[in-house]
Chains A and B, each alone.
Chain A
Amino acid sequence: MNQLIARSPYIVRDDMQFLAEMNVLTAHHLKSCPAYSKIWGNYKESSHIQDLPYIHVGLFKHLELKTDYQDAHFRWLSHSSSTSGVASKIHLDEKSGQLQAESVYKILADFVGVEKRPLLIIDSIKSLRGRGELSARVAAAMSLKPLASNIYFLLDNPTDCKSIKWDLFLDILKNNNYFIVYGFSWILWLAWDLNHFPGEIIKIIKNKTFCFVHSGGWKRLDTIKVSSEKFNNRLLCNVDSHSKVVDFYGLVEQMGIVYPLCEFNARHIPVWADVIVRNVYTMDPIQEGVGQLQLMNTITYGAPNHNVLTEDIGRILNGDCPCGRKGKRFELFGRVPKAETRGCANV
């Protein structure tokens, strides 16, 4: 069990080993998660990855999905606020937490580098407060923790993107040369606006190297017509030329696995994870073409979010990626298109 996580993330895939680990993990969840067992009670071990039983991501908003296995230690109950206003309830056990930290470290190290640097989070420490609650954006930020030498929250007010604590920022800048900056895409765009930066900060960041990491999607940026090129230009225009921007995709319902965008617009899948594209109307797997994304991983024990049908659409990319990473990769297009539902009642 868990041999794959010990490997490098982007090497030639071992689908047989992946299937074997997923079958064991599925049996584990069927045994100890009552809700999962009710849904997939008749399931027998699979000989195809595509037949492994999944959970729709929306179900975490409605059901308690917890795999309470022997000797399990649950660290958090994570309520992640989302755009729908309904919170997902994510149980995270200690064992999975360790594996997920290892997973994120390996994935992001491949894109960001292994050197530990100050992690500047464009959010407020207040977002962390609240018993057992973890917002989606803080969960994403904390996934970078293994790459951080220190963590700083730069916003004073979590709802005001312009409330940067300039004194703190200046102090950190003076004492370091390399940084990771994380923010939700939308927040990073609003916060990193040089028009509002003090002159002293603008002057000092010119010689500093930043790795900007962001996630959260383009929906809100699209509404104000911000392309990825425009976004990257804003971040990179006044900093050291070795700086870069990494956009990653991940679900709070599947912490530990993130999918950074490579320089050739592909999202690479680590060998301990897999992605299947399904036809929205039939759930049949699609080898080529666009469909609903299903994300799997072998490192989740506390809840059956090892195998999640998302509400996002994308397609598998064939052939080798020019970036040199091996294995499977995909292209993400965003959320399943939402049409207006008409009626006159509140559902």
Chain B
Amino acid sequence: MYDQVSFFKFNKTTILVSFPHELNEIINDWNELRKCMLKKMPKEFTRDEWAYLITFLDKENLNGIFLLTFGKETPSITGKARLLLKPLGDVSVWLPNNVSMLGPLMLVLLTLTGNNVHIKAGTRSENLTVIFRDYILNNLSAGVLRTIMAQSITIEEFDRNDDRNIAMARCAKTRIVFSSDETAMAIESLPHPVDSHGIYFTDKQSEVWAEIDAVDDFAVETLIKVFTIFGQSGCTSPRRVILINGDEKSAIYFKKRIVDLWPRDMSRDIPQHIASENIMCWQWAKALGWDVALTYNNSSVIAAGNINLPECKSHMFLPIVWANRSDLSSLLPANIQTVGHCLNDPFDISWLNIISESNVKRYVPIRKMHHFGPVWDGYAFFRQLFEEVEILE
């Protein structure tokens, strides 16, 4: 049974959320760990990744997950209780191979649901989820979070043909899958309980919309920072920048600003094979007709050109194109996820109309393109990990 109940005020009613542990204790334990993280970092993480994780574990951010999902926490029932939520049951998570922070971030979120969690990590990449779990166990003294990590979370590495995939699907009330469409379909076809459900985060891509007069140096630097985290390899990475109502001249100017502002004091060089690939990409883009430049230390390839030019499939290739505002919807890729905006008035109703008529799942400032949260790809997936009991007078 779940002894701990938290109360959340939503309009004039109260939502009760029942947990097997005291929620605030878990959040406090994360906060304790955070202090340790400021001093000691596992070598497998990059500094950027570790810094993001520390920011994510900020108490305010973790409380914000509940605020967004259930409303404001209150000490007791205020008004009428309408809903009682309790952990739905076992959650199985399939992570992709080249994933970076998704595993650790999911781990954090899932500890806040009270469910038992089974995570399958890829076999061909560094498993940051296990490394982070071990870090927690090695650095956190006894407490709720440590108990959850030791008793309620399992993380394993195996490939797609392993029988443990079947076991994971069979035991779970919720299947969360980050993968290609094909893998998602394969997991969906595994035997699973009738009353279970699947949440599938399949291949997505993102882009930036910018109005040239809204772009100052800070915005360019932010774009550079966001792009350099994953290059083209993240579903939230800007695959291209669209200059709204721009032209060739403005695109070339924007490209030059990026090249000029590209940082020269990066604490580490990019991998050698990426620098080499960028030489290849630079030549490829030139041959395709792009106006193209390499940034400092061959660390990326910035190109300006017509939106109809073929793109180069390369890790650090960032094309700057232009389009009319009225054409934006039709130019979006079918699997669009995030639009990072740098607009004079992003909340003007005309922008929101364009978003509402599209498949866009997230419309955020450029600096928040990679931010992960309880709502993802159009799913309020965090809330879906709870069973909702209706309470009426």
Contacts and interface: CB of A to CB of B under 8 A. Distances in A.
Interface of A: 35, 38-39, 55-59, 62-63, 280-283, 292, 309, 311, 313, 335-347
The SS class assigned to the B binding surface is loop
Contacts of A311: 273, 276
B273 A336 contact: yes
Contacts of A292: 272, 276
B79 interface: no
A63 B125 contact: no
B283 A55 contact: yes
Nearest to B234: A343
A343 B283 contact: no
A195 B233 CA distance: 47
A164 B57 CA distance: 61
A182 B269 CA distance: 40
13 contacts: A57-B280, A58-B280, A59-B283, A62-B312, A281-B275, A336-B276, A337-B271, A340-B98, A342-B99, A344-B102, A344-B230, A346-B180, A347-B314
B6 interface: no
B315 to A, nearest CB: 6
A347 B273 contact: no
Given A281-B298, A282-B298, A344-B100, A56 B233 contact: no
Interface residues of B, number: 41
B203 interface: yes
Task: Pick from A62, A309, A342 the residue with the most CB of B within 10 Å.
Answer: A342
Contacts of A338: 271, 273
B289 A38 contact: yes
Contact of B279 (A309, A339, A341): A309
B126 interface: yes
A343 B275 contact: no
Contacts of B237: 343, 345
B231 A343 contact: yes
Contacts of B178: 344
B115 interface: no
A343 B232 CA distance: 8
B204 A345 contact: yes
A167 B232 CA distance: 54
Contacts of A309: 276, 279
A341 B314 contact: no
B229 to A, nearest CB: 9
Contacts of A63: 284, 287
B286 interface: yes
Contacts of B98: 340-344
A59 B271 CA distance: 19
Contact of A39 (B180, B234, B287, B312): B287
A55 B286 CA distance: 12
Given A56-B276, A292-B276, A344 B235 contact: yes
A347 B231 contact: yes
A345 B235 contact: yes
